[in-house]
Chain A
Amino acid sequence: AQSVTQLGSHVSVSEGALVLLRCNYSSSVPPYLFWYVQYPNQGLQLLLKYTSAATLVKGINGFEAEFKKSETSFHLTKPSAHMSDAAEYFCAVSSGTYKYIFGTGTRLKVLA
């Protein structure tokens, strides 16, 4: 069975500050891991994915995430927050076949 836990349903950062969104997973098989972003009233946009290649994954809009097997984590970071980063972020795990298991999401607020 697979599961995802996103720590912190709401995160606030100042513009220009580091963004850190936490994701821990549980999987009985080698996982595929994803981060998606959802802007209000829109669908999900893929930010980045881990598919068993490099453990440090770079995505769009300056985001990156590091797969740490020993910690079962896949935290999302961005060195400097921008106002346009305000959105809801979802971490998801998959066994690589059919369905994704999503976390409950983290709403990021960027303060001017």
Chain B
Amino acid sequence: DAGVTQSPTHLIKTRGQQVTLRCSPKSGHDTVSWYQQALGQGPQFIFQYYEEEERQRGNFPDRFSGHQYPNYSSELNVNALLLGDSALYLCASSTEGSRETQYFGPGTRLLVL
């Protein structure tokens, strides 16, 4: 049973560029959440997708956007990258019937220079 997978594992961008991160949820899961984990901090909630719609959003600017596909996979897009966007981006999946428990992927480490 494949767990949550994310790609790429590492990424280096420069300020002002745009980036797309990808996530495939655990088999049988239909809900995807994204978190940003800055160095030395706990993860912070960015947004959650269910039925291809953004269902809830954390305190992140509109530069952060997402998408969910019919197969439940998801993308996180960040425009106009800032140095402060450097972080580990974690994807978590869950099921609507058991959404209190989220399973996390290994993350994508983004470095903005």
Contact = CB atoms under 8 A, between A and B. Distances in A.
Interface of A: 4, 32, 34, 36, 41-46, 49, 51, 90, 92, 94, 96-105
14 contacts: A41-B109, A43-B90, A43-B104, A44-B92, A45-B104, A46-B101, A90-B42, A96-B100, A97-B99, A98-B56, A100-B33, A100-B92, A100-B102, A102-B42
B100 A32 contact: yes
Interface residues of B, number: 26
B99 A44 contact: no
A51 B105 CA distance: 22
Interface stretch (B43-51, B61-69, B70-78): B43-51
Interface of B: 4, 6, 33, 35, 40-45, 48, 55-56, 58, 90, 92, 99-107, 109
Contact of A44 (B43, B44, B55, B109): B43
A51 B99 CA distance: 11
A96 B96 CA distance: 11
Nearest to A4: B42
- Max chain B Cβ within 10 angstroms of own Cβ: one of A36, A100, A104, A105: A100
Contact of B104 (A36, A98, A99, A105): A36
Contacts of A102: 42-44
B93 to A, nearest CB: 12
Contacts of A98: 33, 45, 48, 55-56, 99
Contacts of B41: 104-105
Contact of A90 (B6, B43, B106, B109): B43
B43 A96 contact: no
B103 A46 contact: yes
Nearest to B91: A43
Given A49-B101, A90-B42, A99 B90 contact: no
Given A103-B42, A104-B42, A43 B105 contact: yes
A46 B94 CA distance: 13
